């Protein structure tokens, strides 16, 4: 890290200012974090530092690289839980308050639909615990609950802020842009209001790589208000010079990177390549495209060095082996039919007339016109349709199905539950015994307990080709993954969805999990964040994902600013994964898009194939 940046950080620490180190892709932000830790201990050897990371992998890497006695490294969930877990009385009161708040105003608190009355009296003899599943009536909170209850407690009980500031002189937050806004509020709104003792919050990240929804994204307002001092890094140690030139053009802030050469790169050509290719043909065969001379030296079988990056999942699902469950979430004919009927009834002011009717009754009304696709679906799925006919239309109309709920950080509670099961199977099969035993809800007090646990997981592994319902029931009965409140609530509110999913082979979940764990040749814009490859082939395809739109992005469409900004960040993340060579494919671009491509890539690098 350059001496001028070190000196700037040092001066901000001595003044007592919160600071942010902003750097683009490949700028060495983790290395900067390590250097800042060393710097703090040079200045203040007696202080305790809390370092907060986005993943367990990142936490373990920092623990390995920065071996200071008074350094504590956490994921954000673990940090928050450690901060509040000993205050059981306040935890119980906060849980009760948040359950009540949620009943009064949706999404304001913690959802609970069980039969028990969650009150102080009811919780008196229970201990509040945090696990990776939720069981509110047993006092068990899950991941999302930790954010909400921590924010509420730090806001409500200033003593918590005092204790935290007394314990940690410095709190360093890696990948800050991916942190929940309600967590940032704890550090920058609630802590400053407590006692006179001051601590320093350090942030590390890049607002251009904020591609997850419902996260803080940036600290612009805090910087403007003088609560955070920003320090910018303009180095890039990863990408070729040509790729960096492209990245500088598509950034929307004033960070402009230059390629820094490592000691082992003295005789290496760092120029690289970045090309924009397109086709105006109606049908596209990507296998044929990949034998174009442009890809002559690319090895698509080497998934560690060459990545085929699709920006929508429908082009990947069948190839990766989870096409059946993807089809349900992406294009369920009954839910599509329900949406059409609901929209038509709203336009005709007759929605109240059909809410209390069954789906079969509504289908017999004039308002429902069956499409050929719907008729074909019910003829092929007669048993499912017969079960669905008796469900009230209002219940079906509340169901939301889209691929965001299947893949990624916004997966619904059913998919989260199913992936937990596969995660346990994967840990067991890859002999990660300690991590496996830590994850399962199984008390091991004797050798016999170990034998019982092994027998339980062996039973599941031996039957993983069975249906999803079979494996869910096995995992629950054997305490590998219990059916918790999240799972039960989902089934109660989305019985139709579970009826569709439960008869699929569990191998669909196995393959989905492998895809998300980067164990296939394919990836998406979210899946490659933080990764790097020598060669990256990016296919720009909106599909039906209305959060992103490449036409709007390349043409800078008016009144679509939020979509343009979101797509810009995703495009930046995709392109910045390339260490050497980047090829971007666009199907049937318009004239404005081609003009923009020539401006960014250079006219000689925009090629029709």
Q: Does the annotation flag 26 for ligand binding?
A: yes
CA atoms within 13 A on the CB side of 416: 22
What is the structure's pLDDT at 140? 95
Q: Which residues contact 222 (CB under 8 A, 6 or more apart)?
A: 18, 188, 228
∠ CA(448), CA(449), CA(455), 5° rounding?
A: 90
Strands (E), 8-141: 19-23, 49-53, 71-75, 129-130, 140-141
Cα separation of 319 and 480, whole Å? Answer: 30
Residue 540's φ and ψ, nearest 5 degrees, are: -85, 110
The token pair at 96 is: 């009760």
What is the structure's pLDDT at 194? 82
Q: Does the annotation flag 29 for ligand binding?
A: yes
In this structure, are residues 40 and 170 in contact, taking their beta carbons and an 8 Å threshold?
A: yes
| Of 276, 290, 244, nearest in space to 605 by CA | 276
Q: Sheet containing 578-587: give its strands across.
A: 522-523, 306-310, 533-540, 578-587, 273-279, 606-608
Percentage with pLDDT > 70 across the chain = 98
Kindly state the average pLDDT of the residues 225-242. Answer: 96
Confidence band for 540, pLDDT divided at 50, 70 and 90: very high
- Dump pLDDT digits (tens) for 282-329: 998 888 999 999 999 999 888 889 998 887 788 789 888 999 999 999
Q: Does the annotation flag 507 for ligand binding?
A: no
Kindly state the average pLDDT of the residues 125-138. Answer: 91
Q: Does the annotation flag 23 for ligand binding?
A: yes
Q: Is the pLDDT of residue 52 over 80?
A: yes
More confident position, 17 or 347: 17
Residue 473 burial class via C-beta count within 10 angstroms: exposed 0-12, middle 13-18, buried 19 and up? middle
What is the structure's pLDDT at 544? 67
Residue bearing tokens 């999803």: 468
- Dump pLDDT digits (tens) for 11-44: 999 999 999 999 999 999 889 999 999 999 999 9
Kindly state the average pLDDT of the residues 527-544. Answer: 86
Q: Is the pLDDT of residue 167 over 80?
A: yes
Mean pLDDT of the chain: 91
Confidence band for 400, pLDDT divided at 50, 70 and 90: confident
Q: Is the pLDDT of residue 355 over 80?
A: no
């Amino acid at each position: 890290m350059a001496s001028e940046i070190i000196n700037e950080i040092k001066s901000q620490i001595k003044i007592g200012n919160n600071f942010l180190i902003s750097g683009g892709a490949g700028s060495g932000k983790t290395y900067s974090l390590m250097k800042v830790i060393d710097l703090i201990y040079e200045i203040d050897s007696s202080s305790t530092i809390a370092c907060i990371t986005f993943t367990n992998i990142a936490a373990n890497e920092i623990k390995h690289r920065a071996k200071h006695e008074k350094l504590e490294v956490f994921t954000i969930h673990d940090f928050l839980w450690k901060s509040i877990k000993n205050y059981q009385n306040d935890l119980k009161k906060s849980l009760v308050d948040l359950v009540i708040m949620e009943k009064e105003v949706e999404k304001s608190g913690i959802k609970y639909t069980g039969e028990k009355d969650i009150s102080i009296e009811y919780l008196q003899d229970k201990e509040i615990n945090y696990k990776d599943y939720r069981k509110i009536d047993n006092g068990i909170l899950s991941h999302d609950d930790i954010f909400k209850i921590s924010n509420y407690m730090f806001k409500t009980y200033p003593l918590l802020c005092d204790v935290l500031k007394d314990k940690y002189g410095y709190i360093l937050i890696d990948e800050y842009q991916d942190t929940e806004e309600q967590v940032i509020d704890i550090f920058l709104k609630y802590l400053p209001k407590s006692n006179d003792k001051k601590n320093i919050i350090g942030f590390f990240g890049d607002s251009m790589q904020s591609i997850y929804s419902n996260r803080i994204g940036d600290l612009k307002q805090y910087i403007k208000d003088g609560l955070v001092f920003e320090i910018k890094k303009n180095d890039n140690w990863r990408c070729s010079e040509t790729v960096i030139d492209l990245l500088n053009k598509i950034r929307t802030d004033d960070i402009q990177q230059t390629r820094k050469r490592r000691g082992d790169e003295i005789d290496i050509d760092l120029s690289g390549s970045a090309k924009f290719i397109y086709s105006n043909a109606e049908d596209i065969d990507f296998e044929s495209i990949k034998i174009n001379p442009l890809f002559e030296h690319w090895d698509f079988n080497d998934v560690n060095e060459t990545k085929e990056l699709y920006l929508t999942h429908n082009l990947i699902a069948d190839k990766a082996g989870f096409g059946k469950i993807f089809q349900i979430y992406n294009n369920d004919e009954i839910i599509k039919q329900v949406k059409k009927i609901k929209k038509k009834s709203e336009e005709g002011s007759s929605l109240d007339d059909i809410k209390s009717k069954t789906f079969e009754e509504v289908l017999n009304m004039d308002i429902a016109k069956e499409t050929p696709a719907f008729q074909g679906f019910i003829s092929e799925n007669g048993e499912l349709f017969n079960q669905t006919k008796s469900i009230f239309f209002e219940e079906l109309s509340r169901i939301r199905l889209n691929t965001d709920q299947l893949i990624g950080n916004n997966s619904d509670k059913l998919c989260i539950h199913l992936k937990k099961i596969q995660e346990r199977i994967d840990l067991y099969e890859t002999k990660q015994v300690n991590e496996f035993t830590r994850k399962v809800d199984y008390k091991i007090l004797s050798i016999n307990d170990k034998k019982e646990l092994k027998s339980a997981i062996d039973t599941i592994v031996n039957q993983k080709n069975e249906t999803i319902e079979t494996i869910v029931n096995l995992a629950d009965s054997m305490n590998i993954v219990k059916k918790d409140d999240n799972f039960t609530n989902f089934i109660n509110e989305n019985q139709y969805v579970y009826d569709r999913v439960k008869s699929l082979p569990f191998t669909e979940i196995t393959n989905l999990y492998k895809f998300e764990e980067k164990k296939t040749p394919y990836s998406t814009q979210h899946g490659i964040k933080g990764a790097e490859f020598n060669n990256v082939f990016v296919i720009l395809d909106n599909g039906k994902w209305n959060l992103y739109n490449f036409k709007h992005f390349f043409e800078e469409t008016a009144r679509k600013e939020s979509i343009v900004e979101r797509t810009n960040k995703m495009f930046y993340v995709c392109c910045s994964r390339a260490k050497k060579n980047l090829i971007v494919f666009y199907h049937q671009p318009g004239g404005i898009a081609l003009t923009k491509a020539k401006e960014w890539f250079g006219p000689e690098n925009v090629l029709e194939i």
